[in-house]
Each structure stands twice: as structure tokens, then as C-alpha cells.
Structure 1
């Protein structure tokens, strides 16, 4: 069983239980954020389906699309593209020109400039150097269903869109690529230019 709480200590949705697999959480993220948004207080500026904490900093030309929640003291750099449903935790930094799609990024994580994170769950205090990618789709394969490798067991997800689960305190080097279905435990290190492909 892949329990999200074994990878991320302070997961921001504690009402989810150990039976909620990462790709199931991502596929349900719209509903999860919709429920959370109904309990937000006056410290958020709410525009349509986007809720941004008043202490968050959003630079020029950032595009928000769909359901998005941005927590306190977060920073989103110029020209970033946030394609909901997306949850950005406290003190998260999203660098200029980065794109985040249908993902959860937990507190104090830093995503440098020109990164792509798709359909992923990223733990706390993770650092992505510039140009790194969480890929979410096997464009080159005839069979596009994504499988993950966990404890030497191959698990089929039943979905064509899932990126990575990255545990707390991990470091992802510049221009590294995490292939669809990557599972990284806490404190993992991915070298610069490294391709992580757990299943061939």
C-alpha cells in the first residue's frame, strides 16, 4: 500500500485516509479543493475559482486557470502558468516561467524557473532546480496506462495521466526528468540531467 502519509508528514488534506492512492487523489483533486475552498476564511482573495492568501506574492503575468488555492507566504514568479486544480502550500516558491498542472505542492517547497510539474504530489521542503520536469504522460508508448514501481511490485494505476509522488526533503537537480509514475521516498536525490525511469 502506498500511503501518502509515509512520504509526506504534514500532508495538507488529513481527512484523506491511507487507502487513497496518489493517482486517485490527483484524479479527485478538483473535488478535494472544492471542499477545502468552502472553508477558507477572510485572509484569502477569492476570484472565481481561484483563492490566493493575502500574504502570498504573485508577480506579473501569472496565469491562473481553474480551481487553485495558494496558501500563506507563497511566491509565484512572473509568467508562471498554474493550471488547476492546483494546491500550493505555505511558503512554496514557484519560479518564473514554470508551469504547474493538476498537482499538490506542500509547504516550503521551491520550484525554480522553467520547471514543469504535471499531475503530481510534491512533499514539503523539496527543491527542484531549474528546468526539471515531472512528466505525466507516455506520449511515445502505444499502451499509455501508467504503472508505478513500489517495494519491487509493479502497480497499474488505471490512468493515462500521473506524474510523480516526491517525498519530503528531496532534491531534484537541474534539467532532471521524472518519468510518469515516479515514486521517490523522502530525502531522495536526483542528479542534474538524470532521467528517472522506474519501469522500462
Structure 2
């Protein structure tokens, strides 16, 4: 059977430099497109994988991880999100071809024997999907023998803790949580309901909640990062953070193409793109976005007019 990844529209441009990098987002330390191909190939007899020409990073990742499967590029001028069913987002293999949007997360239910996709059109879609995946796939603790966890720290609830993770004294990890390889949690920090991909370092006395980290992120001491999407290679100076609730308790709105879009939730923090540097004592207000490769001066309050 042929697995075909189709181009799909999204509004995650501030997170990465280009569309192709969205399909490389890590889920449990694995690139999104590799995870999707793995899910499909475990159920279907996949002998060819087709990648749109506009996604060279995705092509390389698939070739590196599926050496026994033929991988080819093709010209795709459509938008597969336009043809997705409006209910449950079920996707069904047709004849000898299985098409899925490239910027989605593929899931398979053993109970119903059906595939479905979780759209990643908006940043809050990504957060909701990560929350759902954590709840459904992290059902028991799996802790690497190579992880170092201080005796004074508490693991409360199911967690996946990978190789060479170090958790310092007096921390609390409240599951479901994923801590990727070579990550570090500093003394006295609280991490809950979050996914931290490989080499994410959290300083001492931080609170991390319902947040996605792309990997290789450096978060200094006394940071509070809530309900946010943080790209890869991001630096936060000390005493910074992302606010996640308006004083009015109304739904958070997010700017897309000069239009404020209702996120549908009253708890949403920020989107900080790849390779950003956030200075010390910076506060990012709810629903704000920091484009990839941005530097923010220490002491800044990032609000409507920034």
C-alpha cells in the first residue's frame, strides 16, 4: 500500500521558519511525520511513502527512518484539509492508497480498528492534541534506568522519563508528563501535564504547566510557563514567564493575518518560535506570539502593541 502525505494548511507560522519544519515537530521525542508513518506501517502493509516536494526536511526524516520502504517526492498543489470529514476526522485507506494531511497527528484505535487524524491548524490545536496524547498514551510510569531522580523529589502520576534525565532535589513531576532524553529539572520546580522533548533544561523554582517544548530549550530560574507552545532552541532568562488567563476571564484571542481569532478557551499562554531568546524579567501576556529567531529585551512586557 502507498502512504501519501498531502499538503495541509495551518497557522503555526510563528513557531518555525518554514512549513516543512512543522512536520518535524517532536512528539515523545520523535518527529511528527516519522510517528505518523510508524503508526500507519504497524497496521498497513506500506511499501511506498510519498512526500510533497515542498517538504525536504520531512523527506530526509522519512528516508532515514524507513530505509526498507521506497520514499518518493511528488508535486502537490492541493490542500488536503479541505477534504477531511467534519466529524471525528476519520481517515480510511482507499484501494491501495492511504492519504493523510502532513500537518496532523495520526492515531489508530485498536478497539474500533479505525484511523483518525488530529488537525494541527492552530497553536491551541497542538496543545489540545498533546494533552490528549499524554492522557491516553502515558498511562503508567516508564522511567529509564539511566535517569537520576533525587530522593526528595516526587513523581505523582504516570510519567515517561527518558535516558540521562536528571531531576534535582525537591521537585514535583505531576503526570501525565514526558521528559525527553538528556533533560534537566532544577531544584524545587513543578512540572505538570507537559511534554518536554530532548535536552530541555528547566532551572530551579520554576512552574511548567500544560506546555509543549520542542527540545534543546534553556529555561532559567524562577520562570512560570503556562499553557504555551515553545519551539526548539529557545532561551528564557530568569524571572520571566507566560501569563495564561485574562483578568476578565474571557476567552483568549490570537492574532492571525491581522485578525483576532477566538481560541475557544480562557486558558492559553503564548507561542514562542524556534531559536528565540527571551531576556530576564519578561512577561508575555495571553495569546501573544513571538516569531522564530526573535530576541526580546530584558524587562519587556509583551502586550498588544509590541
Short-chain TM bin: 0.7 to 0.9
User: In the aligned structure 1, how far is the partner of 2:215 from the partner of 2:237?
Assistant: 17
Structure 1 residues 162 and 42, CA, compared in 2 at 3 Å: closer, same or farther? closer
SS at match of 1:155: strand
Any stretches of 5+ residues in structure 1 without a counterpart?
none
1:92 paired residue number: 200
Q: Deviations over 1:91-124 (max 9, x none)?
A: 1110000010001111111010000000001000
Which of residues 259, 277, 283 is equivalent to 1:171?
277
User: In the aligned structure 1, how far is the partner of 2:187 from the partner of 2:284?
Assistant: 24
Q: Deviations over 1:54-102 (max 9, x none)?
A: 3111101110112000010001100000121x00111111000001000
The structural deviation recorded for 1:6 is 6.0
User: In the aligned structure 2, how far is the partner of 1:88 from the partner of 1:25?
Assistant: 14
SS at match of 1:96: coil
Asked if the contact 1:5–1:11 (Cα under 8 Å) also holds between the matched residues in 2, the reply is no
User: Normalization by structure 1: what TM-score?
Assistant: 0.87
Aligned residues: 196
Asked if the contact 1:93–1:110 (Cα under 8 Å) also holds between the matched residues in 2, the reply is yes
User: Normalization by structure 2: what TM-score?
Assistant: 0.58
1:26 paired residue number: 127
1:51 paired residue number: 160
User: In the aligned structure 1, how far is the partner of 2:269 from the partner of 2:251?
Assistant: 12
1:124 paired residue number: 232
User: In the aligned structure 2, how far is the partner of 1:5 from the partner of 1:72?
Assistant: 27
Structure 1 residues 83 and 96, CA, compared in 2 at 3 Å: closer, same or farther? same
Higher helix share: 2
Judge which range, 161-170 or 45-54, deviates more: 45-54
User: In the aligned structure 2, how far is the partner of 1:52 from the partner of 1:5?
Assistant: 30
Structure 1 residues 113 and 19, CA, compared in 2 at 3 Å: closer, same or farther? closer
Of the two, which has the highest radius of gyration? 2
User: In the aligned structure 1, how far is the partner of 2:208 from the partner of 2:260?
Assistant: 27
Structure 1 residues 158 and 80, CA, compared in 2 at 3 Å: closer, same or farther? same
Q: Deviations over 1:22-51 (max 9, x none)?
A: 11222343322245547x988477984111
